[in-house]
Amino acid sequence: MLNEQLKNHRIILASGSPRRQAFFKDLGLDFDIILKPVKEEYPPRLAHFEISNYLAQLKALPFKNELKDNDILITSDTIVWHHNKALGKPRDKEEAFSIIKSLSNATHEVITSVCFTTKTYEKTLHAITKVTFKDLTNEEIEYYISTCKPFDKAGAYGIQEWIGQIGVTKLEGSYFNVMGLPTHLVYKTLNDIANKS
């Protein structure tokens, strides 16, 4: 449906995430995957969604001078916000354990920002989902890390994996946002772009 409206556009997804790529397929969109390396660093003064907004926009920068008239570039970033700090991807098993332990028996926020860039404008949106975990045992955390190896995930977990199935007791907001893409916002924004063109 949306694909037909966007037939005169080329959608570029600048993400190596298999989850985000699967979402775009599920939305019925034709898209190209193009990756450009970016050092994902942000100024320490930024907090909360300012961080993910900044990083999503940063990922669009290397493409700026290459976009053609009908290109729509989509870049995104997900962070886990807990105790007033951003939790990124764990470097090793020990860090993964300590991150998940801090999320145990508590509520945190998952924030995903999506930046839409064309030759003439840029728009950045974000979604926030509150996730509550039960009191996870050390054995449960260790089992999850050893079987699912969540080192490519912000906050050291994937909600669609075992730990989400047994550990999440409450969710406020978009489930897909926690997986890495607020699909409802992407769909609405692409619809808006299609209707304007």
Task: Enumerate the active-site residues.
Answer: 77
User: In one letter, which amino acid is 184?
Assistant: H
Specify the pairing of strand 71-82 against strand 10-13. Answer: parallel
The Cβ-side half-sphere exposure at 191, using a 13 Å CA radius, reads 10
Distance CA 112, CA 49 (A): 8
Task: Concatenate the DSSP letters of all residues of 74-126 into one string.
Answer: EEEEEEEEETTEEE---SSHHHHHHHHHHHTTSEEEEEEEEEEE-SS-EEEEE
Q: Torsions phi, psi of 79, nearest 5?
A: -130, 155
Distance CA 75, CA 94 (A): 30
- Residue 6: both structure tokens together: 């966007």
CB burial string 37-53: b at 16+ within 10 A, e below = eeeeebeeeeebbbbbb
